[in-house]
Chains A and B, each alone.
Chain A
């Protein structure tokens, strides 16, 4: 070891036993103040994450924040929810939850399952809910009456006999004690699920054209898109995107099912979600209407693909074809025709007219500007063209996800929900009583313990006392 270690090391003296350190750590994490600080810090950090756009390219931050961008990126505020310091806060939150829950658990367990039946009257009289009265009859008789009343109120009763006195312990809804523990455990299971999802989960997009088969990444099977349909409402809005998909294993089809938004397909732990669609303009289906200037009543619509020649009934040409189609026509550098985007903003087709092998004319026609058409040719042609319709072959965008952590999330959610129910709507109640043998009657001292819904317990308690007194 080098001397550096010694210089930096703690001052010489007896080393504290490591057990002491564990106790310090335990004490630190069992503090509710830490829980409160963490709740506040997590909330504030989360707020920041919604004010600064997350996960954008550095140039976007530079444009938006200028010189501050470097600081924001350095502090990981631009990918906050995956940053080390946010994860450390969550880790502290998890450890704090575990320690706080464990620290309080044994006492609750004893209270629920190993209760002390023996009670002192002085202790009962110090309670908020209490009653004291005398009742004619021996202790045993009063006890039977008391127990009957308690059981009618759905209490479970234990008793312990002492010298000339008898202690009763009646309780119900004791599981309510564990509501907060169930919520805490549920949260931990959810955090664990998040960790498992983050470490082992996997998701990606796949683009599929009709008839195309792809191997699903990281799996042993393939999927094929049989059909992709877009359904519309009468008003023209999209009603549904529907991909009919076949799962293939070793080349054999295993199942065929439609995938819709909100209706994923799951196979061997992989789920497929309909997340979008795109149009492929390489091989569109086109419809062109052919008109004659000499005969205004003549109009014939032909369907054709790019590169395909179709016969037309005309004097100067025998066939027409479409040489090229662009979805978003623009004249680029060198006066060349290009497409600005893959969106059909300005669809245009280059039409050619043929007389056997000789090209007679050619020119661009525009779906949005039918009057712009102008054919370049040696001699003027009698024909004119309208680009009536165009349809790119649509492909489906599917999200593939495999998330081995997700079942933990649902277990955690169930625990949290059940825990909330127990904590808020299953309030534990406890009634203790001491029956003492008096001179000619039995002295009854009773007290009630309830930490939640005290108003309803008060009514319950008074009702029980009155019933015993009158019975």
Chain B
């Protein structure tokens, strides 16, 4: 009850944040951005509270079904965004990223997602659940910011803006890629070994996280060694995020495998 009330308030705060950021982006007046950040931050605080309440009520990590993991992913995206925005202050990122967040929260709240907290099946009863899922989703949240900034790079009209977007995009990959590698691949392998007795089974979710990893490895090598920047980098980052999105979402609904729980 408390959690769903909090979640509704969070939803409203995020919508308001989007409105302010859109106003800032389209009026080209940064005075609207400040309340936007404030609202996003307030939403983040209440969202954290909602996740904590959920954890205490269910007695387990708040990402064991689609509703919970969508909620956690949107939380991680707002966190990534608040950190990035504090440093770079680009309202346009806020407008589009918060729009995606609102979409995710709306999807989580929709009747499609069963919301009741169910007890943990034996396979998920492990502290690696915390480490594996939270760190992976945090990495994916930074990929989401890189995705937005890459799109903004492609649509930007001035060189100055483009350069800024390119740099923010790289920063996000530089944070997201190590997190994704550690959480998704390393912690995933450790947990798989503990639960199934094999660290790698070529399960579709494993393969898709490897594909995501290869795409971002490509991003770094083309950029650092071959000096690719700008447009080509932006396109690789977009492909990488789409691969991560498919790993997170598509694999569950389109392919079958060991990761059937979420």
Nearest Cβ on chain B to A457's Cβ, whole angstroms: 14
Q: Which residues of B contact A274 (CB under 8 A)?
A: 122
Mark each residue of chain A from 415 to 446: 1 if its CB lies under 8 Å from any CB of chain B, else 0.
01100110010000000000000000000000
In the complex, the chain A residue whose C-beta lies closest to that of B173 is: A424
A238 to B214, CA, bound (A): 38
Tell me, yes or no, whether A223 is within 8 Å of chain B by CB: no
B197 touches A240 (CB 8 A): no
Residues of B within 8 A of A273 (CB): 195-197
Residue of B with least CB distance to A100: B225
Residue of A nearest to B250 (CB): A50
Is the Cβ of A420 less than 8 Å from the Cβ of B182? yes
Q: Per a CB cutoff under 8 Å, which of A40, A49, A401, A410 touches B198?
A: A401
- Would you call B119 and A264 a contact (CB within 8 A)? no
A261 to B196, CA, bound (A): 8
Partner among B174, B181, B214, B218 whose Cβ is within 8 Å of the Cβ of A417: B181
A238 contacts B221, C-beta separation under 8 Å = no
Q: Which of B119, B122, B207, B214 contacts A39 (CB 8 A)?
A: B214
Give the contacting residue for B218; candidates A39, A49, A50; CB below 8 A. A39
Do A420 and B122 touch (CB < 8 A)?
Answer: no
CA distance A40 to B218 in the complex (A): 8
**Are A237 and B121 CB-contacts (below 8 A) given A36-B222, A39-B218?**
yes
Please tell me if A399 contacts chain B, counting CB pairs below 8 Å.
yes
Q: Which residue of B lies closest to A402 (CB)?
A: B197
CB of B241 within 8 Å of the partner chain: no
> What 0/1 pattern do residues 207 to 241 of A give for CB contact below 8 A with B?
00000000000000000000000000101011111
B174, B189, B199, B225 — most chain A CB neighbours (10 Å): B199
- Asked, given contacts A241-B122, A261-B123, whether A399 binds B207 with beta carbons under 8 Å apart, the answer is no
Contacts of B195 in A (CB 8 A): 261-262, 273
Is B110 part of the binding interface, using a Cβ–Cβ cutoff of 8 Å? no
The 8 Å CB contact of B225, one of A32, A241, A416, is A32
B217: interface (CB < 8 Å): yes
List of B residues within 8 angstroms of A271 by Cβ: 197
Q: Among A42, A260, A406, A409, which residue has its beta carbon within 8 angstroms of that of B122?
A: A260
Q: Contact at B199–A49, with CB atoms within 8 Å?
A: no
Contacts of A238 in B (CB 8 A): 121-122
A35 vs B215: C-alpha distance in the bound complex, in angstroms?
A: 12
Residues of A within 8 A of B182 (CB): 417, 420
Is B178 close to A, CB under 8 A? yes
Chain B 185-201 near chain A by CB (<8 Å), digits 1 or 0: 11001100111111110
Question: Given contacts A32-B225, A401-B197, is CB(A237)–CB(B119) below 8 Å?
Answer: yes
Of chain A, the residue at the smallest CB distance from B218 is A39
Complex contacts, A264 vs chain B, CB 8 Å: 194, 197
Inter-chain contact A36/B226, CB cutoff 8 Å: yes
Q: Does A363 contact B (CB under 8 A)?
A: no
Judged by a CB distance under 8 angstroms, whether B35 is at the interface is: no
Please report the C-alpha to C-alpha distance between residue A196 and residue B77 in the assembled complex, in whole angstroms.
39
User: Is B56 located at the chain interface by the 8 A CB criterion?
Assistant: no
Judge whether B12 is part of the interface by a CB distance below 8 angstroms: no
Kindly identify, within residues 26 to 57 of chain A, every residue whose CB is under 8 Å from any CB belonging to chain B: 32, 35-36, 39-40, 42-43, 46-47, 49-50, 54
Which residues of chain B (97-120) have a CB below 8 Å from chain A?
A: 118-119
Which residues of A from 263 to 291 have beta carbons under 8 Å from B?
263-264, 271, 273-275
Q: Are A233 and B119 in touch, CB under 8 angstroms?
A: yes
Which residues of the partner chain B approach A401 to less than 8 Å between Cβ atoms? 197-198
Contacts of A406 in B (CB 8 A): 193, 199
Q: How far is the CB of B222 from chain A (nearest CB, A)?
A: 6
Known pairs A36-B218, A273-B195; A239 contacts B119 (CB<8 A): yes
Asked whether, in the complex, the Cβ of A49 is within 8 Å of the Cβ of B197, the reply is no
Q: From DSSP, what is the main secondary structure of chain B's interface residues?
A: helix
**In chain B between 107 and 163, which residues have their CB closer than 8 angstroms to a CB of chain A?**
118-119, 121-123, 125-126, 128
Q: Does A403 touch B at the CB level, under 8 Å?
A: yes
Q: Is B7 close to A, CB under 8 A?
A: no
Minimum distance in angstroms from B242 CB to a CB of chain A: 12
Q: Does A413 contact B (CB under 8 A)?
A: yes
Q: Across the interface, do A46 and B214 meet the contact criterion of CB distance under 8 Å?
A: yes
Contacting pair B207 A50 (CB below 8 A)? yes
Cβ of A92 under 8 Å from chain B: no
Chain A residues lying within 8 Å of B72, measured Cβ to Cβ, are none
**Contact residues in A for B123 (Cβ distance below 8 Å):** 261-262
A49 touches B202 (CB 8 A): yes
Does A203 count as interface, using CB distance less than 8 angstroms?
A: yes
A155 at interface by CB-CB < 8 Å: no
Q: Judge if A81 is at the interface, Cβ distance under 8 Å.
A: yes
B210 interface contact, C-beta 8 A = yes
Q: Which B residue's beta carbon lies closest to that of A451?
A: B224
Question: With a CB–CB cut-off of 8 A, which chain A residues contact B190?
Answer: 410, 413
Residues of A within 8 A of B125 (CB): 240, 260-262
Chain A residues within 8 Å of B202, by CB: 49, 54, 81
Q: Which residues of A contact B207 (CB under 8 A)?
A: 46, 49-50, 81
Q: Is the CB of B122 within 8 A of A43?
A: no
Please name all residues of chain A whose beta carbon is closer than 8 Å to the beta carbon of B126 when the two chains form the complex: 262
In the bound complex, residues from chain B placing their C-beta under 8 Å from that of A262 are 122-123, 125-126, 128, 194-195
- Nearest-neighbor residue (CB-CB) of A180 within chain B: B224
Inter-chain contacts of B251 with A (CB < 8 A)? 50
4 A-B pairs with the lowest CB-CB distances in the bound complex, closest first:
A261-B122, A401-B197, A420-B178, A262-B126
Contacts A261-B123, A273-B195, A424-B174 known; list 4 others, CB within 8 Å: A50-B255, A81-B202, A261-B125, A264-B197
Would you mind naming 16 contact pairs between A and B with Cβ atoms under 8 Å apart?
Answer: A35-B221, A36-B218, A36-B222, A39-B214, A39-B215, A39-B218, A203-B197, A239-B122, A241-B122, A261-B125, A262-B128, A401-B198, A413-B189, A416-B181, A420-B181, A424-B174
